[in-house]
Structure 1
Amino acid sequence: MSEDAGKGSPGAGSAREALAHYLAEQTGISEADARVLIELIGTNWNSLIREARVLKPRR
């Protein structure tokens, strides 16, 4: 699954890294957890925030 993470358009991997960093910063989850969420859910911000909030109390 992670093999496809950078495919699509040039810079897609760095855009996802930036998104993971921002998601982690905004929600308090780790960047590794943020990357997993992005891989599983995609880049829909509302969905990512919702799932990060569910994940946060567990950590």
Structure 2
Amino acid sequence: MFQTLNATVASKISELEEHQDRILDVTFSINRSQMPVIFEKNMGIVASLNKRICDLRAGMPA
């Protein structure tokens, strides 16, 4: 059971990291001076995803 749970958590972490990478790609392709609100919003989303990833990793056995 724990192996299945760990595999599920690892899969979710991977999925969140992929979302984070895509958001960063889009964020850094825009001109920050022309779209500061979008840039800040995207960076907030990235920070939120990073927190979720860290929380999931903290719950996994070493």
Q: TM-score, normalised by structure 1?
A: 0.33
The structure, 1 or 2, with the larger RCO (C-alpha pairs under 8 Å, 6+ apart) is 2
Scaled by the length of structure 2, what TM-score is found?
A: 0.32
* More helix, by proportion: 2
